[in-house]
Structures are given as structure tokens and as C-alpha cells.
Amino acid sequence: MNEDYILIRFGEISTKGKNRKLFVDRLKRNIKMVLRDFRNVRYESTRDRMTLVLNGEDAEAVMARLKNVFGIQSFSLAVKCRTDLESIKETALASVQEQYKPGDTFKVSTKRAYKQFELNTNEVNAEIGGHILRNTDDLTVDVHSPDIHLRIEIREDATYLTFRDEKGAGGLPVGSGGKAMLMISGGIDSPVAGFYAMKRGLEIEAVHFFSPPYTSERAKQKVIDLTKRLTAFGGDIKLHIVPFTKTQELIQKQIPENYSMTATRRLMLQIADKLRERHNALAVFTGESLGQVASQTLESMYAINAVTSTPVLRPLIGMDKTEIIEKAKEIDTYDISIRPYEDCCTIFTPSAPKTRPKKEKIEHFESYTDFEPLINEAVENTETIVLSSKAETKDQFADFF
């Protein structure tokens, strides 16, 4: 029996009222985007779900991609048959025979979208269950926790049979909630923050501060690889690489050492905010969590955040490092993040940064220097590359370097 269909059920979006169509359209687009290199897949959709016709494409590979798409509640491999009782009986029995082991239990549940069908749902359950029982050995019914849960969905044009529900990623379709900039560092935290931004339906563009020759090409490559990994959750992502060397050198020269980190963060945020404006985004995301390091005390956040009134969102704020690491492993960014290359902040980090910097003091220290020209220069010289969610090919990488 060929399970040549995948039924995809939409999640939270089914309750979104008037915006529903927008959300659903976006989700359908995102699904097609992550599956675009499976050329034979065909799409059929109705109001509350989508059906993929695999046409010979590898079901496991397609399902692995679907697992990452926000807005999907669950999906299942399905067999399709004609909407008539004989055909349903035959298909159900054949599928069960193919997969059960002696001693297994099963259950049948039926949903009838096509109300004119000759039997009601209870009658279908009884009819199909009885037919399976009569024609198998050592298989019994268990309605509470069956080994095999056969779901039958009767529609006018066709009937679908599924056996196993895969949990989807939940959340909202990427792009349905607008756009934000993600400050991405090459560390463990910021890619996880990006994941959460996307989970709530945001499209992200990543911003990375790069300080050659203090930081190496390999540190940059690490950020490219991390951003590329995040495309699995929502399609192509733009990565803006900001040349930050001159600014950092000027900070070293002009700002007292124990405040240099505060100044660095303030300047990064100002530049990220300019890029945000330029690219029509409405918020900045960071991987900060409260209390982790000197720059992440509440006093520090207050002094850094004072440079802008744009929302700076920190989805990891309440998480412990171990929880963040767990998530990073789950979304496959951890192995890239722990590659040893230094990032620009690590290198310039003073031995004793102020853990309780005062906003008035940093403003005072900064007031002796005009950073504005360097901020503008950094924005102007930012290099933008687009990371694609498509499976990598050599040609594609040739475009980047």
C-alpha cells in the first residue's frame, strides 16, 4: 500500500478570524518554499489544511522538512481511496495487515466532512473495525492507547486513511507578523533567539558585526553557517555583515576601559537600528538572557537600551544557559556555535567590565567623541548576502565569495 499523501493540519491560525486567510496563504507559501527542491510534489488545499501528493518523492525527507515549518500543528502520511464503503474497507484492511504485529491493539476513528455519506461516523468505525477484526489474527481493539490508530477522513471527492500523527512545529507562519532584525554573534544564544522570533511569525534579517583582522574569515563563515541553518525554519534570510573594526578601535582609544563594553553594545545597537529602519523592520532581537554576563545585568541593559526607542526583544530573557543549550542542540545550531573562533566582542572585552554601568556616565564618556560618521560609514559599507533554504550546491556558494 503506497502512502503517497501527506495531510497537513494548521494550528493556532485556525482561530485567527479575519486574518485567517492571510496566515493560511503565508503558511502555504512557506511550505512550498521549504519543499521547492522536491519537484514532483503537488499541492491541494482546502480551508483548514493542505494535502501533499508525493508523486514518488521520499516521504521521510519531505516530513523532515515539514517538521520545521511554523504554523503546522500536525501532519500524517496518508493513503487515499474512493469514497465508498467497499473501497475504504479494502484499503483499511490492506494497510493494517501491512503494519501490525501479533498482539497489537488498534482503534478506528472517523471524521465525516461529507455528511451525505451512507453511514455515520460510529457506523463507519464499527463496520471498518469489524472487518479488520474478522480478517486478522491476534489483533484486538483498545480505544484508550492503541498501537495502531487508524483515522478515516471521509470527503466527497476522496477518503484519506492515516495511522500516525507527527507533531508539527506549532507557532505562527514566518512572515505573517512582520519583520525584525536579529543581532547574531556566532555564539550559542543569538541563533536560538532567532528561532523564537521566527516561531512567533516574524521574518528575520540577521545583522553581524565583524572586526577584521581581529576576527577571522572563519568567524564570519560560522555566522553564515548559523544563518543558513535558521533558513530551515522559514526560507531565505538576508545576512548583513557590518564592518566594525574602526568603531571598535575608536572606542578603545576614547572610552575608559571598564566602560568600553557598554559603549560597544550601544554602538552596535545604534547601527543595527539604522539597518532596521533601512530594511523596514520594526524590532531588534538579541540573544541576551538576564544575569548571564556583565553586559546582561539589568543596569547594563538599561544603559545600552537607552540609545533607541525601538523595541529590543530578548526571547531568552528567562532561560537558563542549560535550557538554551538544549534548544540549540534541538535546532541544530549548537555544533556550529561551539566552533572555537573568536568574535569581535570577546577580543575587545576588558578584563573587568562594569557590571553596573550608569547611563549618565557612559553618555558623558561618549560625549567627547563624534561617533556619528563611523556609524554612517559602517551602515554604508555593510555587505548583504542572502542565505537560501535550498539544499546546498557548489554553484550557490560560488555567489557568496
Residue ranges for the known binding site for ATP are 183-184, 208-209, 265, 287, 296
> Is 201 buried (19+), middle (13-18) or exposed (0-12) by CB count in 10 A?
buried
The residue ranges of DSSP E strands in 262-355, in sequence order, are 284-285, 312-313
Pairwise CA distance, residues 319 & 243, whole Å: 31
CA distance 337 to 360: 35
Kindly determine how many residues on this chain lie close enough to bind ligand ATP according to the rule CB under 6 A: 19
State the DSSP H helix or E strand holding residue 377, giving kind and residue range, or none if neither.
helix 372-380
Shortest distance (Å) from residue 371 CB to ligand ATP: 17
Nearer CB in complex with ligand ATP: 29/321: 321
Amino acid present at 258: N
The residue among 154 and 219 lying less far from ligand ATP, judged by its C-beta, is 219
Binding site for Mg ion (CB under 5 A): 185, 187
List the interface residues with ligand ATP, window 342-361 (CB under 6 A): 343-345
8, 165 contact by CB (below 8 A): no
> What distance in Å separates the CA atoms of residue 161 and residue 150, rounded to the nearest whole number?
7
Residue 40, classified by CB atoms within 10 Å of its CB into exposed (0-12), middle (13-18) or buried (19+), is exposed
Stretch that binds ligand ATP, among 70-78, 284-292, 380-388, 389-397 (CB under 6 A): 284-292
Judged by CB under 6 A, the residue of 189, 203, 205, 273 near ligand ATP is 189
Q: Which residue is nearest to ligand ATP (CB)?
A: 187
CB atoms within 10 A of CB 395: 7
Of the candidate residues 247, 286, 333, 389, the single one contacting ligand ATP (CB under 6 A): 286
| φ, ψ of residue 97 in degrees (nearest 5) | -60, -35
Task: Compose the 32-71 pattern: x for residues touching ligand ATP by CB under 6 A, - for all others.
Answer: ----------------------------------------
Residue ranges at the known binding site: 183-184, 208-209, 265, 287, 296
Q: Write the interaction track for ligand ATP spanning residues 198-237; mark x where CB under 6 A is met and - where it is not.
A: ---------xxx----------------------------
Binding interface with ligand ATP (CB under 6 A): 183-185, 187-190, 207-209, 286-288, 292-293, 295, 343-345
